[in-house]
Amino acid sequence: MRIPGELIALATFPGVAIHEMAHQLFCRLFRVAIFDVCYFQCENPVGYVRHEVPRKTCHHAFIALGPFLVNSLLGAVIGFPAALAVTEFGDLAPGCWLDYLLVWLGVSIAMHAFPSLADAASIWDATQASRVSCIRRLMWKPLASFAYAMAFIGFNPWFRLAYGAALVRLAPGLLVRAFA
Partner 1 sequence: MGDARKCENCARPAERGYQLALCRTCRDTLRRRPVPLSVKAACGLALLFLAVGLMRFPARLQAYLAFRRGSQAESAGDYPLAVAQYRTVAQQFPESTLAQVSLAVARGRQAESAGDYPLAVAQYRTVAQRFPESTLAQVRLAVALHRVGKSSECIEVLRRLKGQEIDPTLLHEIKTLIDEVSAPRREMRRSIVAMKQEVRGMRQEMTVLDVSLRSSSAEIETMRAAIRSIESTARLGRSADRVRYRQLIAKYNHMVDEHNGNASRRKSLSHAYSERVEELNALIDEYNRTAIPHLRSGK
Contact set with partner 1 (CB under 8 A): 14, 17, 21, 24, 27-28, 31-35, 37, 39, 52-53, 55, 77-78, 80-82, 84-85, 88-93, 96, 98-99, 101-102, 105, 176, 180
- Print burial letters for 138-166: b (CB count within 10 Å at least 16), e (below 16): eebeebbebbbebbeebeebeebbebbbe
Amino acid at 61: A
CB of 29 to partner 1, least distance (A): 9
CB of 176 to partner 1, least distance (A): 6
Cβ distance to partner 1 smaller for residue 105 or 150: 105
CB of 80 to partner 1, least distance (A): 8
The three-state (H, E, C) secondary structure of 5-27, written as one string: HHHHHHHCHHHHHHHHHHHHHHH
State phi, psi for 34 to the nearest 5 degrees.
-110, 135
CB of 65 to partner 1, least distance (A): 19
Cβ distance to partner 1 smaller for residue 27 or 144: 27
